[in-house]
Amino acid sequence: MANIEKISVALTGEQVAALKAAVETGEYATTSEIVREALRDWQLKRELRREDILHLRQLWDDGMASGPAGKSDMKALRNDARQRLEGTKKSAR
């Protein structure tokens, strides 16, 4: 088994009640089990966020390396966007 270290965490009364209720209903064996699961979820979310940031940085770098964007015709861009939006609405029906 992994090295276990105890720490102290301050929770609101509402949070403590929710933990105890989950144990009392049998969803979890202990409140520690709930906290460990929450930490695993947080760690996964944190890793996914880190991967998203790396991906966005790569997209940014790719965009910057592609050179200047040049001039754009905003009226044509708006018309194109409206046409694509209408096409999406029609296909959703």
Break the chain into its structural domains and give their ranges.
9-66
- Tell me, what amino acid is at 92? A
Tell me which long-range contacts 68-73 makes (C-beta under 8 A, separation of at least 24): none
Q: 2-37 pLDDT, tens per residue? A: 788 999 999 999 999 999 999 999 999 999 999 999
Q: 29-75 pLDDT, tens per residue? A: 999 999 999 999 999 999 999 999 999 999 999 999 999 888 889 99
Distance CA 44, CA 58 (A): 21
pTM beyond 0.85, yes or no: no
Distance CA 64, CA 60 (A): 6
